[in-house]
Structure 1
């Protein structure tokens, strides 16, 4: 592996693992700097409002829509993993047709992509678990939830939903970042630029608030 590829790998890990790890840390230590903290409160307030109106079907319908999207992404992730593993099984033929000059590096990139996709799949399956749990809890009487959890039903269900959405974010972004690895197959410098650019766009327009702690 050449120096430029080592730099590309480090940049990718810093942008995907490092940035999102820092974001989760910031969410706990300085929530007012993150958009997610406000969205979490909006979800909890929405659930409390629907439970107060005894309109549980709206929550279940919304959760069903989210589950469909999450199922689609999880299935897509498995398809991508299968395609990449099939690529490795036929690597000898592909090496000749594409005239791959560095076989070991190409194989590493494929395996690395499979690893990121596998992590994304685990995150998405975890999100599905929480979403289905929310769908079940909505049908439970609030008094029962309060009795066994010690928390008001809206707060408990909202926390479950927020956990599921957190895993969904990690899974969907992992899927996106894994697709960026395809650029690495073509040009390493372009890959570094794209990964940094996408991460900056997430930070500026999706994740962070310009407020002091």
Structure 2
């Protein structure tokens, strides 16, 4: 049995995780999830720095250990890349020390997933305000990924993002695509995307990486598990 633990901020699109667990169709893989206290629900730099603080992440670690987690992933993009590349690296080092387990975050999951796909140039289609989306652009560049374009949507709260459905997700991806991009990234774990990955890739004609998708993939990578799941897009062998 392989159990990957996730620390998820608040309540928005956490139901993507049991959905992805079913889509993996691997009976020996479990994806236990613990909610963290987000404080202020805002895609604003000061709020995101507090959301991703070591104390808030540490509070959920023991529950994941008791659930048998072999690795833990901070299932949040914005409250990791907002610290910058070095700060986000220190965030997961501290999480690993606290948990006594391999650890990562959604921001690094995107960087690793881009390399796994063998692409070098991406487009970012973000729900965030432009200033926050630009910080993700900077993080990706620091991780060695060329960013052809970055689009922010100006959404302040995760709660609002969590209400978006298929039509909004497809529109976001279309609007954020760029002809020079080899893949499109949708970086918000508050966005429901698991059910739409095949359609997104068919619509854009290229790989699409979404936050909850890459977060699960990253956890499996940390646990040295490879699972082929075509319904989860090119990253999972689709």
For normalisation by structure 1, the TM-score amounts to: 0.25
For normalisation by structure 2, the TM-score amounts to: 0.23
**Higher strand content, 1 or 2:** 2
